[in-house]
């Protein structure tokens, strides 16, 4: 059995951060969230200039069993899987296997001739032709026209998204990425590719493209090409039995706004290997593992002598790929996503801050980030050489503004540049 990852912590002042100001994180989480039992527990990591300066587990990883949050707790990271899937596909791009402007149907022949939804319900859709074919860059930047199958919190799926759910296009136990692509081939798009932005199943299709292009299953590709080389020893699509005691419980709120156990770690589906390897949201991970992934990105694609991507590729991925340098207020049709819209653009796999004033948050231009459905978040600030990771297990993620609150605490802790 491989050893779990541990992190060395240095003094915040060694990298220009205030220990006293960073301590406000614990006080904030305790007073605002743990004491009133809004969440069960959380873990916050802050790193600068390649050094971890703050790693604080708080509260419970499993309130039912009174198990405290720990540095090595395993979390469902849901959509924080997306940046990893994007890196996997871009590694194949760097090997010359495809161009970003390639039509997706070259790799998924059943997708030739996809049309756009006009009206109706499954299976009686009225459709029209697309303005152009979907490209791989459309998938990576969520401009593909693919729908979302997410529902809940008063939201209903679109007519196309409802069809996704009816056909179980993302079936964790029983389905495959290939079967997903075959089912989607029979359904219309929400809009013509490139014209709007929608938080849908695009990154799951990116995972399938990794399989098609590499000839490897998506899970094996991630393990052999990313997780093993980076030493991400606790990241995968399920929690092995020998690590189950480190797996956190997942919560939501009942009608009285009391914590309610949503996914019991002792009975969870994550304890058995899936057949559907979701690039959009299927992974579990730890703070230490995801930090190594983030540090690789901040380093320009390299960590501890292992290079996954070139610096120019990451620079390109973290530019705003929305047309005309627009932000998401102009293009997004999503009822839900892991980002606010104002002052935020989107690259290949990441949201990107393009206007600080419009974002109404302290920070830096060029920060890139994402989050997960169970209130996990991260951001990377290249100009400040800063990485922040916050991990909780509470759904839905838009209940509390953890990202905004942490930014207002952490950026003022920078005492020299």
Rounded CA-CA distance 164/20 in Å is 49
Return the pLDDT at 154: 47
Return the pLDDT at 150: 77
CA 232 to each of CA 5, 6, 172, 285, 402: distance values in angstroms, whole numbers, following the listed order: 8, 11, 22, 8, 25
Q: Is 45 exposed, middle or buried (0-12, 13-18, 19+ CB in 10 A)?
A: buried
Q: Radius of gyration of the chain from Cα atoms?
A: 21
Return the pLDDT at 334: 85
Rounded CA-CA distance 226/85 in Å is 10
Inform me whether the pLDDT recorded for 397 exceeds 70: yes
Q: Between vectors from CA 245 to CA 241 and to CA 249, what angle results, nearest 5°?
A: 110
Confidence tier at 151 by pLDDT (50, 70, 90): low
Confidence tier at 2 by pLDDT (50, 70, 90): very low
Query: In the chain, which segments carry CATH 3.40.710.10?
Result: 12-79+218-317+367-413, 87-214
Rounded CA-CA distance 16/384 in Å is 10
Q: What mean pLDDT do residues 317-338 have? A: 91
Across 254-362, the runs of DSSP E, i.e. the strands, are 259-263, 284-285, 302-303, 306-307, 344-346, 351-353
Inform me whether the pLDDT recorded for 152 exceeds 80: no
Beta bridge partners of 62: 67
Confidence tier at 84 by pLDDT (50, 70, 90): very high
Of the candidate ranges 5-19, 81-95, 170-184, the one whose mean pLDDT is the lowest: 5-19
Q: What mean pLDDT do residues 170-198 have? A: 97
Residues in the chain, overall count: 417
Return the pLDDT at 265: 98
Q: Which of 268, 265, 303, 298 is nearest to 381 (CA)?
A: 298
Q: What mean pLDDT do residues 162-168 have? A: 95
Q: Is 324 exposed, middle or buried (0-12, 13-18, 19+ CB in 10 A)?
A: exposed
Q: What mean pLDDT do residues 31-42 have? A: 98
Return the pLDDT at 103: 98
Rounded CA-CA distance 85/198 in Å is 18
Confidence tier at 1 by pLDDT (50, 70, 90): very low
Q: What mean pLDDT do residues 407-412 have? A: 98
Question: In the CATH scheme, what is the code of domain 87-214?
Answer: 3.40.710.10
Tell me the three state secondary structure of residue 6.
coil
Using CA of residue 164, residue 239, residue 73, residue 14, what is the dihedral sign?
negative
Q: Which fold has domain 12-79+218-317+367-413?
A: Beta-lactamase (3.40.710)
């Amino acid at each position: 059995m491989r050893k779990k990852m541990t992190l060395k912590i240095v003094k915040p002042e060694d990298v220009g951060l205030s220990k006293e100001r960073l301590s406000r994180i614990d006080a904030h989480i305790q007073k605002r969230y743990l004491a009133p039992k809004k969440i069960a527990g959380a873990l916050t990591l802050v790193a600068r200039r390649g050094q971890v300066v703050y790693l604080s587990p708080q509260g419970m990883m499993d309130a039912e069993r009174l198990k405290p949050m720990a540095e090595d707790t395993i979390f469902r990271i849901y959509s924080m899987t997306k940046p990893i899937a994007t890196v996997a596909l871009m590694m194949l791009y760097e090997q010359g296997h495809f161009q970003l402007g390639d039509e997706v149907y070259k790799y998924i022949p059943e997708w030739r001739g996809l049309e756009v939804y006009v009206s109706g319900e499954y299976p009686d859709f009225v459709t029209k032709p697309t303005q152009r074919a979907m490209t791989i860059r459309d998938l990576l930047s969520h401009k593909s026209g693919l729908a979302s199958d997410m529902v809940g919190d008063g939201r209903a799926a679109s007519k196309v998204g409802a069809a996704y759910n009816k056909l179980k296009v993302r079936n964790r136990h029983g389905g495959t990425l290939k079967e997903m692509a075959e089912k989607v081939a029979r359904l219309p798009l929400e809009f013509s590719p490139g014209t709007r932005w929608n938080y849908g199943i695009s990154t799951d299709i990116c995972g399938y493209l990794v399989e098609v292009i590499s000839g490897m299953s998506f899970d094996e590709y991630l393990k052999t090409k990313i997780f093993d080389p980076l030493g991400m020893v606790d990241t995968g699509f399920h929690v092995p039995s020998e690590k189950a005691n480190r797996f956190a419980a997942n919560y939501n709120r009942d009608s009285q706004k009391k914590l309610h156990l949503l996914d019991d770690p002792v009975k969870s589906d994550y304890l058995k290997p899936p057949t559907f390897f979701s690039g959009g949201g299927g992974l579990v991970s730890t703070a230490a593992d995801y930090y190594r992934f983030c540090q690789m990105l901040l380093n320009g694609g390299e960590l501890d002598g292992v290079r996954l991507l070139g610096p120019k590729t990451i620079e390109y991925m973290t530019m705003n790929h929305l047309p005309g340098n627009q932000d998401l207020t102009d293009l997004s049709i999503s009822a839900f996503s892991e980002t606010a819209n104002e002052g935020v653009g989107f690259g290949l796999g990441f949201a990107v801050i393009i206007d600080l004033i419009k974002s109404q948050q302290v920070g830096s231009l060029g920060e890139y980030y994402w989050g997960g459905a169970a209130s996990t978040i991260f951001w990377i600030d290249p100009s400040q050489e800063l990485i922040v990771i916050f991990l909780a297990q509470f759904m839905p993620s838009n209940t509390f503004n953890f990202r905004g609150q942490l930014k207002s605490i952490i950026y003022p802790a920078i005492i020299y540049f």
